Structure 1
Amino acid sequence: MKVDLSKYDNSWYNPGRGAIGRGIWYLVNAVFFISPFFPVSSLKVWLLRLFGAEIGQGVVIKPRVNIKYPWHLKVGDYSWIGEEVWIDNLSKVTIGSHCCLSQGAMLLCGNHDFTSKTFDLMVGEIVLEDGVWIGANAVVPGNTTCGSHSVLTVQSVASGRLESCWIYRGNPAEKMKPRAITH
């Protein structure tokens, strides 16, 4: 089956900045974030704020983090963004305070409608409430909210709403057991 992509039209989507602003961010992201040679979190936080992100105090951003559009990003206090995390925020991503995104975690706001002949773009917001832990290589797609202190374990895929104080595992992630917080 041959698909006519000439009808593919995502002109409705607005990335929030023009081509020049996105191009400058692309270069800054490549040099200071994706690169392993700039491990200084305070510089990264300053750059994110310069480009419109809302970043709380005490945020740690490890090397090789890829952030699509900082102007769609909000991070609360004392959150940790681990190595090789990919925040593909075509839409708003809100990360609460005291959250942890482990190595290789992916927050993916965009997807495509595979039922459409033109494979149209679909975007949705992501919300990680306070105290959320996203495990290594786990995936959080758009239109997902992880309730406060929920955990998405290693290589799991979230969808919809994860309830507060529960541990989720698998693809699709299933509720496994309550998260016991002792202190």
Structure 2
Amino acid sequence: MEIDLSKYDQSWYSRGRSGLVVLLWWFIQGTVFRYSLHNMYRWRNFLLRLFGAVIGRDVRIRSSAKFTYPWKINWG
């Protein structure tokens, strides 16, 4: 079976932010976000909002949650 990868095109896709912002978010998520205490829901919501996520008032997000691009999240 032979697959022609020359036809593969993802030029239409946009991460929505620069590569530097993406790397910064991945660093924050892998450290401060991930190792926050269990009941620090407001802190994690703050971090997500800082990167552009729209999150409702009573939403609780666990530290084990993973977001590749938080600016594309809308739980409002």
TM-score normalised by structure 1 residue count:
0.37
Question: Radius of gyration: which is bigger?
Answer: 1
Q: Is the 8 A contact 2:48 2:70 kept in 1?
A: yes
Partner of 1:45: 45
Q: What does residue 57 of structure 1 align with?
A: 57
- What SS does the aligned partner of 1:60 have? coil
Name the structure where strand makes up a greater proportion of residues: 1
- Give the total of aligned pairs: 74
CA deviation profile, 1:120-178 (whole Å, cap 9, x unmatched): xxxxxxxxxxxxxxxxxxxxxxxxxxxxxxxxxxxxxxxxxxxxxxxxxxxxxxxxxxx
2: CA distance, partners of 1:32 / 1:66: 13
Alignment of 1:33-112 (within 5 A): 33=33, 35=34, 37-38=35-36, 39=38, 40-76=40-76
**Alpha-carbon deviation of 1:28?**
1.3
* Structure showing greater relative contact order (alpha-carbon pairs closer than 8 Å, 6 or more residues apart): 2
Tell whether 2:11 aligns with 1:30: no
Gaps of 5+ in 1: 77-183
CA root-mean-square deviation: 1.5
Any stretches of 5+ residues in structure 2 without a counterpart?
none
User: 1:37-74 deviations in whole A, cap 9, x for unaligned?
Assistant: 31311111111111001122122111211011111111
More helix by share: 2
Secondary structure of the 1:52 match is: coil
Percentage of matched positions with identical amino acids: 39
Question: Secondary structure of the equivalent of 2:30?
Answer: helix
SS at structure 1 position matched to 2:74: strand
- Quick one: distance in 2 between partners of 1:64 and 1:42? 15
For residues 26 and 8 of structure 1, the distance between their equivalents in structure 2, rounded to whole angstroms, comes to: 27
- In the superposition, the TM-score normalised over structure 2's length comes to 0.82
Name segments (4+ residues, structure 1) moved above 3 Å: none
| CA distance in 1 between partners of 2:44 and 2:50 (Å) | 10
